Structure 1
């Protein structure tokens, strides 16, 4: 299997991690306020103390696994784009790898947050809540609360792919909209809504990109 085709499964894995994230947000984690912007820190710490394994598994899927698959996808798309647009290929690879690193860092911090809050909650629940607040803010800053890096990368890749015709036009067009919504997450009044649009749109974009790479059609020279 060529590097470009390896990007196909990587993209599908990225889509799957987003789906897992949304499913848990809308089910098990919904009573804690996840996905509404009104998270109850005390309830989260209490839930985490009883379900540490679930939280670590969730973070490992939505952050760690996603970041590793994303890094492979970034390199695969770079290989495809570099044939016809080398400058864009290099630029998007740099931005994409930065995004992957940020997501991986967010996952590592999220898992450490679980470990430390569980340990501290046994003796000082209030301190555990305070610690969770601080570390959760760091997690959100890196990869969970805004989508600037992801928005720029998907937007850049999609614009390059549109011009070079290395992805189907509908996929590239969707990527432009998804990337733009990611950039809008920096605006507080729009953060939650555009974040949801980015996440749901990214699932479709990853799926479309994944299937296109699996087909392995060669870009025009």
Structure 2
């Protein structure tokens, strides 16, 4: 009984954090769409000056996008694994492994970018050109393991959606949508930003939809007293 309550509590937290993940995505889109005025055509000194002047806010955004996102993702990965593990579908174990790897990559990206930004700004007084070069290298590393390439995250969404579809744990359309989101994530290995944008936007919807299901599914069953059969909705 205690195990059931703890598992149910974990799934509720996973649902809450799934919605928080979507809100982090939205906050990042708003910040970079409305407030980010980086001088892409400016000189090295102008670019580094902009980063220095916005270091505090930019660092907080990076920390939110990567480190906080990764911590919330860890709870969601574990909660979703607990929700689906009774199906004994091989995709659950493999998908959860990719989920854990994604957590590590995202958090590592945030730590690299956060420390790297400060180091690049410190180098600015000596040489703006070398400082910008350092920041560009850091940006490439960050994008490579946690931002621009969403292969690992896409595989997690794809495999967990496949397992959920097979077990009928979540609504059928949510699982089909998850398959689409996962494929979009895997497709980010192609050098075109369009797939990264599709993955980001569609994952906002997926996170919210999944979060609502995790928060309400067991509550509805308790309220009605009906055990939901393992078939797709």
What is the TM-score of this pair, normalised by structure 2? 0.86
Corresponding position: 1:93 with 2:99: no
**Residue number in structure 2 paired with 1:134:** 137
Task: Decide whether aligned partners of structure 1 residues 220 and 98 sit closer, same or farther in structure 2, where only a CA change above 3 A counts.
Answer: farther
CA distance in 2, matches of 1:21, 1:62: 7
CA distance in 2, matches of 1:67, 1:212: 21
Deviations along 1:173-205, whole A, 9 cap, x unmatched?
1111111111111111xx211111000000000
Task: Decide whether aligned partners of structure 1 residues 220 and 80 sit closer, same or farther in structure 2, where only a CA change above 3 A counts.
Answer: farther
**Residue number in structure 2 paired with 1:196:** 197
Unpaired runs of 5+ residues, structure 1, are none
C-alpha displacement at 1:135, in angstroms?
A: 1.0
The 4+ residue runs of structure 1 with deviation greater than 3 A are 38-44, 218-221
**Residue number in structure 2 paired with 1:16:** 23
**Residue number in structure 1 paired with 2:224:** none
Which residue, out of 75, 80, 83, partners 1:77?
Answer: 80
Deviations along 1:58-109, whole A, 9 cap, x unmatched?
0011101110000100000000001222533221211101001100011001
CA distance in 1, matches of 2:147, 2:93: 26
CA distance in 1, matches of 2:41, 2:57: 18
- Please provide the CA RMSD for this pair: 1.9
Contact 2:102 2:153 in 1 (8 A): yes
CA distance in 2, matches of 1:46, 1:178: 38
Contact 1:75 1:93 in 2 (8 A): yes
CA distance in 2, matches of 1:71, 1:77: 10
Task: Return the index of the structure with the highest Cα Rg.
Answer: 2
Corresponding position: 1:148 with 2:155: no
Contact 2:92 2:159 in 1 (8 A): no
Contact 1:41 1:132 in 2 (8 A): no
CA distance in 2, matches of 1:101, 1:41: 35
Corresponding position: 1:178 with 2:168: no
Task: Decide whether aligned partners of structure 1 residues 44 and 108 sit closer, same or farther in structure 2, where only a CA change above 3 A counts.
Answer: farther
CA distance in 2, matches of 1:171, 1:96: 18
**Residue number in structure 1 paired with 2:225:** none
Corresponding position: 1:27 with 2:34: yes
**Residue number in structure 1 paired with 2:216:** 215
C-alpha displacement at 1:210, in angstroms?
A: 0.3
**Residue number in structure 1 paired with 2:14:** 7
CA distance in 1, matches of 2:92, 2:203: 20
Q: 1:146 aligns to what SS in structure 2?
A: coil
What is the TM-score of this pair, normalised by structure 1? 0.90
Q: 2:86 aligns to what SS in structure 1?
A: coil
